[in-house]
Amino acid sequence: MAKTVGILGSTGSIGTQTLSVIRELNSRPESAFNPHYTVKALSCGANIDLLMRQIDEFSPETVCVSDGDSAKILRKKYRKLNVLSGEDGLISMAGEKTDMLVTAITGMRGLRPTLKAIESGTDIALANKETLVAAGEIVMKRAKEKKVRIIPVDSEHSAVFQCLKSTFKGGKRSVGRIILTASGGPFRTFSEKQLLSVTAEDALNHPTWKMGGKITVDCATMMNKGLEVIEAMHLFGMAPDKIDVVVHPQSIIHSMVEFTDGSVIAQLGLPDMKTPIELALTYPHRGLSDRDRLDLTQLGGLTFEKPRTDVFRCLSLAYDAAKKGGVMPAVLNGANEEAVELFLGGKIGFCDIARLVEGAMSDRISGGVCAAGPDLDAVLEADGRARDYVRRSVNCP
Ligand code: MG
């Protein structure tokens, strides 16, 4: 038995960890519970050297790179390999039927490839939350119509996905609320004044998780948790007022579900993304990992706090966008993507991120009207408008 896999963003944090999980899974005896994983397609941005090492090890049929020059180099070196490039190439690669596509690229640019994979009937291991934030209704509706499974890789959503298996016969009726945990990021205890002077370097120093630049900054502003609230809404069909956030700095409880009888089921584990990645690949079975185990006696304690939404305003802005619905989450996401890029480039300060996102969400920029069920064009248009606003606000055309 074999399971074919494609990876969007194979040289990033989730991409490399996915290949490492596949290496581990394939080193175990093949069985009905542990199929052999065949990597059919890989895509990457700039890290061609690492991509070449991945091609040598996993022999994919298709790869996609961001630019034409890199594509030429690869075509010369690998005569039999199907080499694609650019956004069209990425969409085309995503459309090649595999059993599962791991969407491990960052940002809205994951949207079209994800939709294309759904059209081809490929199950999605979702590690690209921006896609669901901006166009959750469109993506979930199409996945349902095409009977495609969307399995979360995000550690919180993987936790909720597992906890929800305890609904018994009540189904969704027996779910009271979802409780997402947040590490609080590197500035959890900072005052508003202290936040004014933090740099990109400070923000990139996350206390518990090693991740890419964009998501690490999102963790520092707590926008990441806001995006995850919207992601959870779509994945699990819950209203935003039934999704709470609690700060849990140790990142041991990855999230919880409270049921209508008051029982709370939590999923615990060491903070290691390989666990949710492996579950997405092996579901509905569990793997036989020999990774480090959680030793509760070594932990000292698990603590919980209310999020400081007055200081970390991105989280409240995300709740506002979730409640308004329509294209507002796409506006929130587009503005945030641009603002984070400007922050990482040293063009704006840390507190400007929330300010710019709030500005983009104003009636004048967002249009104010939030019709339910926007189509793809409306989402892309709103995303573009939000990005324009952010760049114009700081004179970066
Ligand atoms: Mg997460």
155 alpha carbon – ligand 1 mean position (Å)? 5
Q: What is the per-residue pLDDT across 305-356, written as a single tens digit (0 to 9) for each? A: 999 999 999 999 999 999 999 999 999 999 999 999 999 999 999 999 999 9
* Span 102-161, pLDDT tens digits: 999 999 999 999 999 999 999 999 999 999 999 999 999 999 999 999 999 999 999 999
Left, alpha or beta for 367 (phi > 0: left; psi -120 to 50: alpha)?
A: left
CA 78 – ligand 1 centroid, Å: 36
Q: How far apart are CA 25 and CA 78, in angstroms?
A: 27
| Of residues 335, 70, 178, the one with CA closest to residue 81 | 70
The CA distance from 328 to 314, in Å, is: 14
Residues 6+ apart with CB under 8 A from 397: 391
pLDDT at residue 68 in the model? 95
Q: What is the pLDDT of residues 290-309, one digit of tens each?
A: 899 999 999 989 999 999 99
Average pLDDT on 76-86 reads: 97
How far does the centroid of ligand 1 lie from the alpha carbon of residue 338, in Å? Answer: 20
Instruction: Specify the pLDDT at position 192.
Output: 94
220-233 confidence digits (pLDDT tens): 999 999 999 999 99
CA distance 44 to 335: 24
Q: How much distance in Å is there from the Cα of 291 to the middle of ligand 1? A: 20
For position 220, what pLDDT does the model report? 96
- Helix, strand, or coil here: 300? coil
CATH of domain 2-152: 3.40.50.720
Of the chain, the percentage scoring pLDDT greater than 90 comes to 90
Confidence (pLDDT) at 369: 63
Q: In the chain, where do the E strands start and end?
A: 2-8, 36-43, 62-65, 82-85, 100-103, 123-126, 150-152, 175-182, 243-247, 253-259, 264-268
Which residue ranges does the chain devote to CATH 1.10.1740.10?
A: 325-393
Give 69 Cα–ligand 1 centroid separation in angstroms.
Answer: 34
CA distance 85 to 63: 8
Evaluate if residue 361 carries a pLDDT over 80. yes
Q: Is the pLDDT at 212 greater than 90, yes or no?
A: no
Rounded to the nearest whole angstrom, what is the distance from the C-alpha of residue 26 to the centroid of ligand 1? Answer: 26
Count Cβ atoms below 10 Å from residue 310 Cβ, excluding itself.
8
pLDDT score of 209 more than 80: no
> Given this model, what pLDDT does residue 159 score?
98
Whether the pLDDT of residue 255 is over 90: the answer is yes
Instruction: Enumerate the CATH 3.40.50.720 domain ranges in the chain, comma separated.
Output: 2-152
- Mean pLDDT of all residues in 169-178: 94
Q: Given a cut of 80, is residue 367 above it in pLDDT?
A: no
pLDDT band at 368 (very low <50, low <70, confident <90, very high): low
Assess whether pLDDT exceeds 80 at residue 204.
yes
Q: What is the pLDDT of residue 178?
A: 98
Per-residue model confidence (pLDDT) at position 43: 98
Per-residue pLDDT, 210: 75
For the chain, give the mean pLDDT.
95
Distance 83 CA to ligand 1 centre (A): 32
Which one is predicted more confidently, 172 or 92? 92
Q: What is the pLDDT of residues 156-167, one digit of tens each?
A: 999 999 999 999
Q: What are phi and psi of 198, to 5 degrees?
A: -75, 150
Query: What number does CATH give the domain 325-393?
Result: 1.10.1740.10
C-alpha of residue 271 to centroid of ligand 1, in Å = 10
Q: What's the 152 CA to ligand 1 centre distance in angstroms?
A: 10
Give the DSSP letter string of 8-22. Answer: ESTTSHHHHHHHHHH
CA of 56 to the centre of ligand 1 (A): 31
Quote the ligand 1 centre to 228 CA distance (angstroms): 7
Whether 371 shows a pLDDT value over 80: the answer reads no
